Amino acid sequence: MDLGLTEQQEMLKLTTRDFLDKECPKSVVREMMEDERGYPPELWRKMADLGWMGLVFPGKYGGLEGDFFDLVVLLEEMGRACLPGPFFSTVVLGGLAILAAGTEKQKQALLPKIADGKMIITLALMEPNARYDALGVRTRATAGRGEYVINGTKLFVENAHIADYILCLVRTSENKTAEEGLTLFLVDSKSAGIRCTLLNTLAADKQCEVVFEDVRVPTENILGEPNQGWAIVERLLEQATVAKCAEMIGGAQATLEMAVNYAKERVQFGRPIGSFQAIQHHCANMVTEISGARFITYKAAWMVSEQLPAAMEVAMAKIQTGHAYQQATVFGHQIFGAIGFCMDHDMHLYYRRAKAGEISFGDSDFYREKVAQELGL
C-alpha cells in the first residue's frame, strides 16, 4: 500500500490549485452564498472543459478513466478553495451510483451529460427522522402499470432545486429487515408532484426539503434491481464519506496555512506572535491532527478504490477528520483573535464548513458506533 501521490496526481493537485486560486477567490464563494443557484455557470463550464466531472468515468462515457483516489485528490483541493456548487452531489452522489449500478442504457444516457457539465444530479436519502441507515427510509413507492408512485419527504437534499435528476431511495416492500425492500429511483426533478424548498443552513450551502406527492416514475428509471437499493447506497455512502473527508482535509490545511502565515507576520510585544509558546503549540496541534486525518483518509480512499472492505477505516477517517477540521478552525480563531470572528474574514468560511462537514453522512457518534461494531462490541 503506497499512499503517496503519483506524478499524475501531483500534477492534478497543482493544476487544480492554480485554477481555483484564479477562478474561485473567496469573493466568489461569498457571492454564491447569497445566490440562489449556489454556483456560477461560467465556472461550472470551465470545470467541465478541464474534464473534472468525468474524471472517474470510462472513456466511452466521455470520462478521463481516473480512479477514486484521483477524485479524492481533486476534492481535497476543492475543499481548500471552499468551492461552491453541485460538483459533489453530481459526480460523487450521482455519477458514482450510476456508474456502479446503472444499466448500459442509463449510463449511455446520463454519464456523458454529467461529464460534459450538462446535467446536475443529487441524492435524496435523509428524512425527518434524521437517520442515515436503512431504518430511516419511510418514503414509499407503490407499483402500478409500468410505473411507481412515490410519496414522502426527504430532507437536506443538496442542490435539489437545480438538479435535473434526483436519486431517491424509497421503500417498495415490507421485509424482515430494514435493508430489504428498498429501491433506488432516478426521478426527473420536473415531474409533477415534487415540491422543493431551500433550507437555511450554517454553511449557506444549498440544501433542500423535497416533498414527493404522488410522483410517478417509470419502472425503467429504477437504478439496480427492485428492492435491492440499500446495497448500492451503502457502497455509495462509503465513497461519499471518504470524499467528504478529503474536502474537509483541504479546508483544514488552508486554515492551518492561514494561521501559520499570520503567526509569522503579526507582531505583538515587539516580536511575531509565532514566537510565543502558546501559539506554537496551537500550530503544532493543528498540523498533527491534520496529518493524522490525511493519513487515515488516504488509507480509506485507497481501500475503497481497490474495492476492499473498508468500513472500519472509513468510520475512523470521518471521526478523525471531523475533529481535526473543527480543532483547526478553533485554534485558528484563537491565533487570529478578534479579527477572525468578523464575517468578512475567511476563517468564518472554513469554520462553518467544518461544522457542516462533521455531521455530513452521519456525525462522529454515528461513526464511533460503526467502529465499535467492527470491533465486535
CATH number at residue 52: 1.10.540.10
Whether residues 157 and 32 share a domain: the answer is no
**Is 78 part of any domain?**
yes
Quote the pLDDT of residue 338: 82
Contact assessment for residue 209 and residue 153, using Cβ atoms and an 8 Å cutoff: yes
Report the percent of the chain where pLDDT is more than 90.
92
**Is 178 part of any domain?**
yes
**Is 1 part of any domain?**
no
Whether residues 106 and 166 share a domain: the answer is no
Whether residues 79 and 161 share a domain: the answer is no
**Is 251 part of any domain?**
yes
Comparing CA positions, the residue from 71, 76, 111, 112 lying closest to residue 92 is: 71
Per-residue pLDDT of 251-275, as tens digits, reads 999 999 999 999 999 999 999 999 9
Whether residues 235 and 370 share a domain: the answer is yes
Rounded CA separation 87/275 (Å): 41
Quote the pLDDT of residue 350: 95
Whether residues 197 and 235 share a domain: the answer is no
Residue with the three cell numbers 493519513: 295
Whether residues 115 and 157 share a domain: the answer is no
Rounded CA separation 311/292 (Å): 18
What's the mean pLDDT when you consider all of the chain?
A: 95
Per-residue pLDDT of 300-338, as tens digits, reads 999 999 999 999 999 999 999 999 999 999 999 999 988
253, HSE (Cβ side, Cα atoms, 13 Å)? 19
Number of domains the chain contains: 3
Beta-bridge partners for 174: none
Per-residue pLDDT of 36-58, as tens digits, reads 999 999 999 999 999 999 999 99
Comparing CA positions, the residue from 122, 112, 99 lying closest to residue 54 is: 112
Whether residues 333 and 212 share a domain: the answer is no
Cell numbers for 175: 421485509
Per-residue pLDDT of 146-172, as tens digits, reads 999 999 999 999 999 999 999 999 999
CATH number at residue 264: 1.20.140.10
Query: Beta strand 194-198 with 140-143: parallel, antiparallel or unpaired?
Result: unpaired
Quote the pLDDT of residue 176: 76
Contact assessment for residue 249 and residue 219, using Cβ atoms and an 8 Å cutoff: no
Instruction: Give residue 346's pLDDT band: very low, low, confident or very high (50, 70, 90).
Output: very high
Range of the domain at 287: 231-374
Rounded CA separation 140/292 (Å): 42
Instruction: Give residue 86's pLDDT band: very low, low, confident or very high (50, 70, 90).
Output: very high
Contact assessment for residue 89 and residue 158, using Cβ atoms and an 8 Å cutoff: yes
**Is 85 part of any domain?**
yes
Residue with the three cell numbers 500534477: 11
**Is 2 part of any domain?**
no
Whether residues 261 and 323 share a domain: the answer is yes
Q: What is the DSSP letter of 72?
A: H
Give the mean pLDDT of 63-72: 96
Instruction: Give residue 177's pLDDT band: very low, low, confident or very high (50, 70, 90).
Output: confident
Rounded CA separation 92/81 (Å): 18
Whether residues 28 and 80 share a domain: the answer is yes
| CA angle centred on 103, ends 98 and 109, rounded to 5° | 70
Ranges of H-type helices in 139-274:
229-265
Quote the pLDDT of residue 343: 79
Quote the pLDDT of residue 1: 66
Cell numbers for 149: 408512485
CATH number at residue 214: 2.40.110.10
**Is 45 part of any domain?**
yes
Of 172, 200, 228, which one is at a domain's C-terminal end?
228
Give the mean pLDDT of 3-20: 94
Residue 185, H or E segment: strand 182-188
Residue 17 class from Cβ within 10 Å (0-12 exposed, 13-18 middle, 19+ buried)? middle
Of 119, 139, 167, which one is at a domain's C-terminal end?
119
Of 193, 212, 228, which one is at a domain's C-terminal end?
228
Instruction: Give residue 31's pLDDT band: very low, low, confident or very high (50, 70, 90).
Output: very high
Contact assessment for residue 250 and residue 75, using Cβ atoms and an 8 Å cutoff: yes
- What pTM value is reported for the model? 0.95
Give the mean pLDDT of 237-251: 97
Give the mean pLDDT of 83-105: 97
Whether residues 190 and 153 share a domain: the answer is yes
The DSSP code sequence of 241-267 is: HHHHHHHHHHHHHHHHHHHHHHHHH-E
Q: Calculate Rg over the CA atoms of the chain.
A: 21
| CA angle centred on 320, ends 318 and 324, rounded to 5° | 115
**Is 211 part of any domain?**
yes
Quote the pLDDT of residue 130: 86
Whether residues 97 and 216 share a domain: the answer is no
Whether residues 343 and 238 share a domain: the answer is yes
